[in-house]
Amino acid sequence: MKTVCLTLLALVCCSAVSGAEPTVPDPRQALAVLSGELHLKGLTRPVHVLRDRWGVAHIYAGN
């Protein structure tokens, strides 16, 4: 009985693993689409946010 249970458990685990598709997330899809202007209280000078080719944000602020 123990052998049968272990065999069934092994089959269930193998089928669950083989049925799952390995996915590699695309880091560019994780970035929010940012465009346009936003006016925030407390900012009196322009702020520019640029992203480099690796997706790192570079913030340039006047104040």
Predicted pLDDT at 58: 93
Predicted pLDDT at 63: 80
- Segment 3-47, tens digit of pLDDT: 766 776 776 666 555 555 566 767 666 656 667 888 888 889 998
Predicted pLDDT at 43: 87
Which residues are paired to 49 by β-bridges? 59
- Maximum pairwise Cα distance, the chain: 76
Instruction: Look at the alpha carbons of 40, 45, 46, 47 in this order and tell me if their dihedral is positive or negative.
Output: negative
Is residue 57 within 8 A of residue 49, CB to CB? The reply is yes
> Higher confidence at residue 11 or residue 52?
52
- Confidence category of residue 1, pLDDT binned at 50, 70, 90: confident
Predicted pLDDT at 18: 55
Tokens of 63: 């104040």
